Amino acid sequence: MTMTVFDGYYKDYDHARQEAFQAIDEYKHTSNSTEREHLAVTAKSNIDEVERYQWGILDNERKLDPAIPTAVIREERALFGMIRRKGVGIQVGNSCWELYCLEHGIQPDGQIPSDSSAMGDDSFSTFFSETGSGKHVPRAVFVDLEPTVCDEVRTGTYRQLYHPEQIISGKEDAANNYARGHYTIGKEVVDQVLDRVRKLADACTGLQGFMVFNAVGGGTGSGLGSLLLERLSVDYGRKSKLGFTIYPSPLVSSAVVEPYNSVLSTHSLLEHTDVAIMLDNEAIYDICRRSLDIERPTYANLNRLIAQVISSLTTSLRFDGSLNVDITEFQTNLVPYPRIHFMLSSYAPVISAEKAYHEQLSVAEITNSAFEPTSMMAKCDPRHGKYMATCLMYRGDVVPKDVNAAVATIKTKRTIQFVDWCPTGFKCGINYQPPSVVPGGDLARVQRAVCMISNTSAIAEVFSRIDHKFDLMYAKRAFVHWFVGEGMEEGEFSEAREDLAALEKDYEEVSAETAEGEGEDEAFGEEY
């Protein structure tokens, strides 16, 4: 069963956002400055459709780097407003179900054509329930505190696919405020959401767990997302909870209080998720532009790439393979300590149809590509840390012999370092179902692909960036009154920040630890 928890609303501001990205890239490549602090002020405005937001940037931006041209300042303002990607969880969830439907031969109305090869195949039952009339309904709940993005799902291509009661929206959003999503506005809808989740869970013959999609920079994704995870822990105890979490990008900010929301939400993710896969828009945007040759990637491009990762993680639940990895096994092999469960992900090949036609894309090549720092879907460099464990999920035309050879080659590379207390390091899965792609999309159809989920100490870079921004604001107690005014205690800020400081320390320690027994033989088998 899946559960999808989401944030906010969405309008099509792609054009200005993309121009801003381009301007900033040009600036990044020509400027000598290596570090800049950005604080974007995004205020809702009632002006026309084009200028939906007013933007601001710190006055001392020029003092930090006087070389920034006026045009770039203007473009950065546009970027900070346009990147306001609320509704990210719903958009990613919708793209994910679009891909699931393609993989299982299910039409947008939930029916499987009678002449389809998928007829008689019940592999869909993990994520879809079948009604008496033959309609296939996703085991998913879409949640938002205001209706705009939910209405897009209700009126979109897949409007007939979803059960109407499983798309839940309130009347007002969380206004970028974790406390509103967690303590006030969010509490008004949480019981309704949990009731729908309970009905879905009761309909499962063997509930394994939940998958939660949200963004922690906004108020709904952070506040309501945390509240739902806490309640799921109470109601469903030891059932697995996997989070696919969009973290704030290092250069791009959509709200002043993003660091507060992120720290408070991560405090909850630490306790109430078993595995959290960290993503960020900027990293995925760069992958799309570089690997797919898209000058201005849209959110559809980003979402469909994320959907490929999520699909790869769940193929073994749905299709046959020689080395299948279920969700529990996945956790067991990736999480050495309960708190160290924040993962980095990559997917290969990300390639356009024009390039795919001219390239071989062997198992060794896609494996090497998955380990490239530029392939990571969060902005951190794995060369700055050590791998504790890695799960490689292959799909399509792949045999164990080729996987063994590819992994052996990876182990010889000096740039890919593993902690010495984990001599095996690799868990591999092979599934025979080749990857599907959305017709008319930019991703090429390929014969084989790999998704890598890795537990690396380098992920601490993401936390240290957010913590630094948190500290700058909290030292002045800036904006704290908005959170306290919604029923939150100020002590929660320092409690959450201390928890993240301890998490950074945990990652530092696991990276530095050495094994007590050196020279032990490496074990091979399913864990290569």
The three-point CA angle 453-455-461 to 5° equals 110
> For residues 12-49, b (16+ Cβ closer than 10 Å) or e, as one string?
ebeebbbebbebbeebeeeeeeeeeebbbbbeeeeeee
| 386-399 tens-digit pLDDT | 999 999 999 999 99
Q: Is 130 a catalytic residue?
A: no
Q: Are strands 53-57 and 40-44 parallel, antiparallel or unpaired?
A: antiparallel
Q: Is residue 304 within 8 Å of residue 285, measured between CB atoms? A: no
Place of tokens 């920040």: 497
> What confidence tens digit (pLDDT) does each residue in 21-42 have?
555 455 445 444 333 333 333 3
- The one catalytic residue in 130, 152, 230, 329 is 329
What's the pLDDT score for residue 150? Answer: 93
Cα distances (angstroms) measured from residue 332 to each of 46, 209, 291, 390, 524: 50, 14, 32, 12, 17
Which of 33-42, 234-243, 411-420 has maximum average pLDDT?
234-243
When pLDDT is cut at 50, 70 and 90, the band that residue 118 belongs to is low
- Distance between CA atoms of residues 8 and 85, nearest Å: 8
pLDDT band at 452 (very low <50, low <70, confident <90, very high): very high
Distance separating alpha carbons of residues 375 and 283, to the nearest angstrom: 8
Q: Report the SS3 class of residue 242.
A: strand
The CA distance from 277 to 343, in Å, is 5
Please report, for the chain, the start and end positions of each structural domain, with discontinuous segments joined by +.
Answer: 14-29+39-82, 88-461
Top CATH class, 88-461: alpha beta
The CA distance from 392 to 395, in Å, is 10
95 Ramachandran zone, left/alpha/beta (phi>0; psi -120 to 50): alpha
Cα radius of gyration (the chain): 22
- Structure-block tokens of residue 444: 């090429």
The model's pLDDT over 261-277, given as tens digits with 9 standing for 90+, comes to: 999 999 999 999 999 99
Where helices occur in 34-168 by DSSP H, the ranges are 61-64, 70-82, 88-104, 148-155
> Which contacts qualify for 155-160: CB closer than 8 Å, 24 or more apart?
156/94, 157/98, 157/108, 158/94, 158/97, 158/98, 158/101, 158/108, 160/108, 160/109, 160/110
